[in-house]
Every structure is written in structure tokens, then in C-alpha cells.
Chain A
């Protein structure tokens, strides 16, 4: 990991204390869905590219 990467990592939110068992306590909130999305993405890494802003 290069110097740049270390700087970047230090600005991330720490998810290490969170596990799937905690998710039900968050109901169906934006936080719960965001954690689920992140965990799914980690399990199924696809080609990471970004799309067009002016359409949804």
C-alpha cells in the first residue's frame, strides 16, 4: 500500500465493529441498506465503473 493509499484509508468510516447480527437493530434504514450493499459488493466484486449523472 502506497503513501497515498494510507492517507485515503484513514478517512474512511470504520466498519470493523459491525457485523450482520447487528443489522436487524437498524430496521430498514438507509444505514442498514448501505451496510448490506457494501457487504454484497465485497462478496461480488464486479467491474467498478461509474455511470452518467444526468439520468437515474
Chain B
């Protein structure tokens, strides 16, 4: 993989050159703790188990108390050094709830005790939801850990992809967990829903099915893929934009509602970027990425969706035991993801929507031989979706301005 790494380093640029051009490393503000490395579901599109990287096989099952303490100390060190008033910590997996309620109490307690008083830590668990019960929710509530759940829309669509290893669908169990999460005192813990797109699903029916749980926010994720492993339906035909067409129908339904029924992250961020703002998540825009992943064994890694590209793509060679979070900021790939326009390929640099698209989600740019300095494999879809949203906003704002005289 040295060819890929070389290409990646050129995408990040030499740090001396970048610094002379005004670039400075940006501190990490979001930490993804892989607290459990296995899952009780066997989803057919999972980037951890079903795609190129298989490093999960060599990881410990669960993050040990020693690694949790090390992680807390390294995050605290980083927060003090950069005077961070707020950090986000995502408890992730595998399926993190497999670690058990007592583990969550211990992790939250360790993190909150060891982080500086001046740093507010927001804790979230990203779960498949099948293990949510009152015991778990009581513990998550006690330690103020919010819960985000993955669910793919309509029951039969969800159960086509999100399966138990024996082939049974997970929808009924997730729905049971979500109903509990949405009830009474637990509702304040509900962070939102994530849905991976299946083009065969009716977009509006899928969206409305998720709306039934009244999520405060949600998002639709493009299935992971790249120029080597194409996403389903994404062909060489640049005139075809199946994902933009699908998302566009959801956009029209979401945007046309007289009262916003939920915050839809991708659309919210594209609109904000079109207004001239800065995106706060790493699929769109040119804001510097500030995410670090800490694996169950204490390895410091990049965004783990990179595991969809090739074996070792997310690895940095750094470990909490001997490396600080600041050391991660010098890694070529982190530099690339904090360099904005400078890290994009020439085609993206010339593109009219580059400020909004930002070159697309980094893992989706991968092409064997040239690494990540390519347009996203979803380039035609992103271009079409951004234009669709822009045209709708433009028309509405013109009408508003005319009405105001």
C-alpha cells in the first residue's frame, strides 16, 4: 500500500509548505472511542466487518479500564493544551452496548473525572438499538450519555440489510428499543437516527417511517464505496444521479413541511454552506476535520470509514501509550483533511460547487494508485443535489425579497 500512502501524503502536502501558506493544525474536538470491537448484527454494508480492512480481527473485544484511563488522560491533555471548552466523545463499535451497562458507567465516570473542569464533554453512544432496555437507559441517563440509533427506514428495507448473523431482521427489536427511548424521561437522551440509503426504498416512505419515532435529528448516509468498489447504482454514466434523485425527493418532502419536523443533517449543512457558512460535519464543506478514533487496543486512528478503502487505511501507527493527540495532527492524512481546498484534486479545485461539496466524503475519493486525491465516486450525485437545493433556495429567497418590496 505504499503507493496509496505516498499519494495520500502528497494530498496532505508538506507541513512546512502548508504552514508557509497559512495553514495551522486544528485541535481535535471529537473523539470516537471504539469501546467494543464486535457486533451482534451482521449488516451487509458494514465498513468494519464487510469491506477492505479486517483489523477488527486482531483487536481486543472490549476497551480495557487501562485504555479508558489513558484515553481520558490524552483527551484531557489535549483539551488543556488547546484550551478546549467543549469536546465531543462518541462511544462506538462494533456494537458498543455489548460492553454492558456497568462498563458505560465506568467509562463515563472515568472520562468526567479526568477531563478538566473547564472542558464540557458531550457523551453520545452510537448503537444499533437492539439492546436498549430500561437498565441501560437508566445508566445512560445517570451519566448523561445521549443515544443515536442506526435504522434504515421501512421495516422490510431495514431487514434486508440490518440482520442478525442467523439472517433474522433487526427492525422489531430496534423499534422496541426506540419506543422505550422515546418515552417519558428517556426521551431527552434521544440524539437521533442514522439511515444508510437503499435506492430501492421509496425515499419519502422511508423518511416518514423514521419520522414516526420523532427523532430530533437524523441523517441519510451514502453507502460506503470508492472508485475501486463502486456503490450500488453508481456507474460511469455521469448523467445518471440516482443518489441525488433519491435524496432530492427526501429534500423536497423535508423542506416543504410548514414546520421543520426534524433536523436533517446533510440538507441543513448544504444549506448553511450555500449561505456562506461552515459545515460542522465531515461529509461536505472544507472545514478542517477534527476527529480522532481511539481503537479498543488504544491505537490512535483516523475516521474509521476509511476502512472501506483498503487494509490499514485508517491506521496511523500511533498509540495512546506513547503518542499524544497532538502527534496525530502531524499525520499526512489528518493534514490533508485539515487543508481545505489545498488538498483537493485539480478537478475539484476547478469545480463550481467545491466550497459546498468540499470534494465529497474523504473515504469515497479513494482510487487505487492515486489514493484520495480524486473527486468522490459520488461526484455527479453531489453536484446534482447541491444544485437542486441551491435552485430551490434561490427561488424562495427571490420570492421573499420581492414580497418585502
Show the binding face of A for B, using Cβ within 8 Å: 4, 7-15, 17-19, 21-22, 25-35, 37-38, 41-42, 47-56
Contact = CB atoms under 8 A, between A and B. Distances in A.
Given A18-B397, A51-B281, A52-B303, A33 B260 contact: yes
B128 interface: no
Interface of B: 26, 29-30, 32, 88, 90, 92, 124, 126, 148, 191-194, 217-219, 221, 254-255, 257-260, 263-265, 267-268, 271-272, 274-283, 285, 287-291, 303-305, 341, 349, 352-356, 361, 390, 393-394, 396-398, 400-401, 403-404
Contacts of B268: 30, 34, 37
For A22, A41, A52, the residue with the greatest tally of chain B CB atoms inside 10 Å of its CB is A52
A33 B191 CA distance: 19
Contact of B126 (A4, A48, A55): A55
B32 A12 contact: no
Contact of A30 (B257, B398, B403): B257
A54 B285 contact: no
B174 to A, nearest CB: 15
15 contacts: A4-B341, A10-B352, A13-B274, A29-B260, A30-B254, A30-B267, A31-B396, A38-B272, A38-B277, A42-B277, A49-B290, A51-B281, A53-B282, A54-B305, A55-B32
Given A17-B400, A27-B259, A52 B90 contact: yes
Contact of A56 (B193, B285, B404): B193
B400 A18 contact: yes
Nearest to A54: B305
A48 B290 CA distance: 10
B260 A15 contact: no
